[in-house]
Structures are given as C-alpha cells and as structure tokens.
C-alpha cells in the first residue's frame, strides 16, 4: 500500500494540549483555524465544501472517513472550505459505484492538510468540555514552540468577519429565467443545495455579493428575499445587517438560514453570542413551537441568537427551540412574512424533516404575489 508508512503529525490546541496522529497522504505543512467537530455519520463531502466552515479545522467523529469516496456532484460550493481535517481512520480505499475520486485525491486537488490516527473521541470530549478554541494541525512535530507562536497570531472566531471570503464577487442568476417567481438572495456563504431547493420550487434566483445594497437587490423586482448561511461571527456583517433592515421595509417575504437567521435577528436589534460549543451534526432535535411537532435537523453553527432579547422584542416570535440546550432555533416577525431558522432545512447532509420551511416560504411568496 502506497501510504502505509506515514509521517507523524499533531494537533496542537491553543491551550497547549497536543494530540498526535499521522499525516494523511504525502502533504507536509500546517493548517490553522478554530477546531470544531461534526457528529454526522455520512455527508463528509458536503460538510467539507460548506462555506459556513471556512476557517475551521474539522474533527469528524465518525470513525471512518473516506470509505465511500467523493462525487463531483455532491458539493455545496466549488471547493473545500474547511481549513483542515482531523480523523480517526482515513480510508484510502473506497467502495461506491457513483464515486469518481478517492477522498485523498479530492483533498489533494484542494491542497487540504489532513491528519488521521488521532484519538478523536478524546479530542472531541476535550473540546466539548473546554469550549471552542483555535488549533493547528501540522507535520512539524519537532517545532512545537514555533507552532505555538504562530497559533497566537490566528484571530479568534469571535468578532471575525468571513462572509466576504466566500461570497460571490459578482451577482449571478441561478435557475430558469422564465420561472414563476423571482428571489433575490444575499450570498454570505450560500450552500448550493439552498439554490437547488429554491429553483426546484419554481424560482429564478439572483445571487448578490455580501455587501449588496437594498437598491441592487430590489432592482429586478423580486417576489421574495433570501439571506444565506455562511461563516464567521454575524455581528461584524454591518453591510448585510443594514441591507436586511432596508429590505424589511419593503414588506416582501423573506427567509433566512443560519447566518441569515442571525443577521435577521441583528437587523431587529437582537444580539448574538458565541456558544461554548456549537451544534454540528445531522441529528439535532428541534421543537416547532407553532405546531408542537419535533424535527430532526442538520446543524452547523457556533453563534446563536439571544433568547431573552428575542422574547422581549415586540415584533418577534420564537418559533423553534433546540431541545438539547433550549437555544433559539427559529424566529418569525409577527407582522410580516419574514422568518428564519438556525438550522439547515436544505440538509445536504442530513434529514429532510424541515423541508416544509421552503414550502412555507413559497406559500408566502405566492400569497404576496397575488
């Protein structure tokens, strides 16, 4: 086997804790970022290409990663967005008829540094107990002091604006130009499966850069507005928050997902905060407070909306709650067709329980278009 003898590598956390492992493939080097973990058993390719993970080192809690290879169709953006990958067992072989590359080839094509043979259970328990923190993965195992110094230069996720790094530079149109409805989407890190979900329900979507103004987004007279998911802290997104505030005055239907949900809260003067540990996985339980029904959802966030402020806000209603820790999982504006969720109805990966949110958005669009 080509990669049987592999270089030693390490994960160094910002508090000095070290976990050892082996380099994946033959790439040497270091990758820095906030270390976080995803508990999904499947869906690694969608996770690695999700722009919301920009700047993060991903620990996969599933013990085998790579065993079903990759497929060019199953991406959520045009490249890998995680900063680095940490796994227990990296599978150099894969078995799936529809795969077109091994995970190793996919990582190499994207120049991604990855480390395997790490005690990921110990690492995940450690982060879970001690909270989100920065880390470096590196093959420079004899240069720990130098790595510590370099790690100190890495900015904290709190206060970090990252949407501009992943947003489209120019507006573009997605879907059939003759579709029944038109949606303007603010791209602060949009996942492809959101666009697929909007297009398949009969919309043509115009996707705008992170700093687009209301005037730019309103110019083609859309039937509704969408504010996307994305990476980083929502608070520094001053342009997106200001644009959202202006769009709200138009009284058109609006839907926000994840970072878009946080931006909607901020546009209403409700603050957000950094969680001790985020929610990242595909089996997070949510209670829909409007229907009394439970949903199993796909999640990926490290910030959340302040519950007391949302509860006290005269124009807002909390519509969904996360059942593990009672964090706010959804809000709506009482007097407008405007709502948002902290989780991912587009799944990819994950269950489709929350698909109905896209349908509700289209019902609102149809009602307001009449």
Q: Which of residues 234-263 bind ligand GLN (CB under 6 A)?
A: 258-259
Complex with ligand GLN: residue 229 or 297, whichever CB lies closer: 229
Cβ contacts of 278 within 8 Å, gap of 6 or more: 36, 132, 300, 301, 302, 303
> DSSP characters for 244-277?
HHHHHTT---EEEETHHHHHHHHHTT--EEEEEE
**Residue 230 assigned as binding residue:** yes
Supply the DSSP symbol for 219. T
- Considering the complex, what minimum distance in angstroms separates the CB of residue 156 from ligand GLN? 13
How far apart (Å, rounded) are the C-alpha atoms in residues 101 and 179?
A: 35
Complex with ligand GLN: residue 253 or 260, whichever CB lies closer: 260
- Considering the complex, what minimum distance in angstroms separates the CB of residue 65 from ligand GLN? 20
How far apart (Å, rounded) are the C-alpha atoms in residues 119 and 123?
A: 6
How far apart (Å, rounded) are the C-alpha atoms in residues 196 and 346?
A: 9
- Considering the complex, what minimum distance in angstroms separates the CB of residue 303 from ligand GLN? 4
Q: Which of residues 283-322 bind ligand GLN (CB under 6 A)?
A: 300-303
End-to-end distance of the chain based on CA atoms, in angstroms?
A: 64
H or E stretch at 89: strand 89-90
Phi, psi of 8 (to 5 degrees): -70, 145
- Considering the complex, what minimum distance in angstroms separates the CB of residue 106 from ligand GLN? 21
Complex with ligand GLN: residue 61 or 300, whichever CB lies closer: 300
Supply the DSSP symbol for 83. S
**Residue 259 assigned as binding residue:** yes
Catalytic residue among 36, 161, 258, 320: 258
| 318, β-bridge pairs | 331
User: 3-state SS of the chain: helix, strand, coil percent to 5?
Assistant: 25, 30, 45
Would you give the binding string for ligand GLN spanning residues 204-233, x where CB under 6 A is met?
-------------------------xxxx-
Pick the binder of ligand GLN from 45, 49, 52, 184 (CB under 6 A). Answer: 52
- Considering the complex, what minimum distance in angstroms separates the CB of residue 230 from ligand GLN? 5
Supply the DSSP symbol for 101. B
Cβ contacts of 308 within 8 Å, gap of 6 or more: none
- Considering the complex, what minimum distance in angstroms separates the CB of residue 260 from ligand GLN? 7
Catalytic residue among 279, 301, 313, 344: 344
**Residue 202 assigned as binding residue:** no
Which of helix, strand or coil describes residue 170? coil
Q: Which of residues 56-115 bind ligand GLN (CB under 6 A)?
A: none
Residue 227 contacts residue 186 (beta carbons within 8 Å): yes
**Residue 156 assigned as binding residue:** no
**Residue 232 assigned as binding residue:** yes
Contact status: 327 vs ligand GLN (CB under 6 A): no
- Considering the complex, what minimum distance in angstroms separates the CB of residue 344 from ligand GLN? 7
**Residue 262 assigned as binding residue:** yes
Complex with ligand GLN: residue 164 or 229, whichever CB lies closer: 229
Q: Which of residues 260-279 bind ligand GLN (CB under 6 A)?
A: 278
How far apart (Å, rounded) are the C-alpha atoms in residues 20 and 8?
A: 7
344 is annotated as an active-site residue: yes
Complex with ligand GLN: residue 224 or 302, whichever CB lies closer: 302
Q: Extract the tokens encoding 309.
A: 């402020």
Cβ contacts of 62 within 8 Å, gap of 6 or more: 39, 40, 41, 42, 44
> DSSP characters for 5-38?
S--EEEEEETTS-EEEEEESTT---EEEEEEEEE
Complex with ligand GLN: residue 303 or 361, whichever CB lies closer: 303
| 8, β-bridge pairs | 22
Complex with ligand GLN: residue 30 or 299, whichever CB lies closer: 299
Q: Would you name the residues annotated as active-site residues?
A: 258, 344, 346
Residues forming the annotated binding site for L-glutamine? 52, 230, 232, 259, 262, 300, 302-303
Binding residues for ligand GLN, rule: CB under 6 A, are 52, 229-232, 258-259, 278, 300-303
């Amino acid at each position: 086997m080509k990669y049987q003898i592999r270089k030693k590598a390490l994960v160094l956390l910002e508090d000095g804790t070290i976990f050892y492992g082996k380099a994946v493939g033959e790439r040497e080097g270091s990758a820095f970022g906030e270390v976080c973990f995803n508990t999904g058993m499947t869906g690694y390719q969608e996770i690695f290409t999700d722009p919301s993970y920009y700047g993060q080192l991903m620990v996969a809690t599933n013990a085998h990663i790579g065993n079903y290879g990759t497929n060019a169709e199953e991406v959520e953006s045009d490249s890998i967005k995680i900063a680095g990958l940490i796994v227990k067992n990296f599978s150099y072989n894969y078995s799936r008829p529809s795969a077109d590359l091994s995970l190793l080839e996919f990582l190499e094509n994207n120049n991604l540094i990855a480390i395997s043979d790490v005690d990921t259970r110990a690492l995940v328990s450690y982060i879970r107990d001690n909270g989100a923190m920065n880390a470096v993965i590196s093959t420079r195992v004899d240069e720990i002091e130098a790595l510590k110094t370099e790690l100190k230069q890495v900015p904290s996720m709190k206060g970090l604006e990252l949407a501009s790094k992943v947003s489209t530079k120019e507006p573009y149109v997605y879907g059939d130009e003759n579709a029944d409805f038109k949606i303007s989407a603010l791209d602060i890190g949009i996942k492809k499966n959101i666009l697929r979900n909007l297009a398949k329900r009969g919309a043509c979507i115009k996707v705008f850069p992170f700093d687009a103004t209301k005037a730019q987004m309103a110019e083609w007279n859309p039937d509704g507005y969408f504010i996307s998911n994305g990476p980083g802290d929502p608070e520094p997104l001053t342009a997106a928050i200001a644009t959202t505030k202006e769009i709200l005055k138009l009284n058109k239907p609006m839907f926000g997902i994840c970072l878009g949900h946080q931006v909607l809260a901020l546009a209403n003067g409700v603050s957000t905060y950094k969680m001790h540990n985020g929610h990242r996985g595909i089996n997070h339980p949510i209670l829909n407070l409007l229907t009394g029904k439970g949903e199993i959802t796909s999640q990926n966030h490290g910030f959340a909306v302040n519950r007391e402020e949302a509860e006290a806000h005269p124009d807002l209603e909390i519509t969904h709650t996360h059942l593990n820790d009672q964090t706010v999982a959804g809000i709506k504006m009482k007097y407008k067709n405007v709502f948002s969720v902290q989780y991912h109805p587009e799944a990819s990966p994950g269950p489709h329980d929350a698909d109905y949110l896209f349908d509700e958005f289209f019902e609102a669009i149809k009602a307001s278009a009449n």
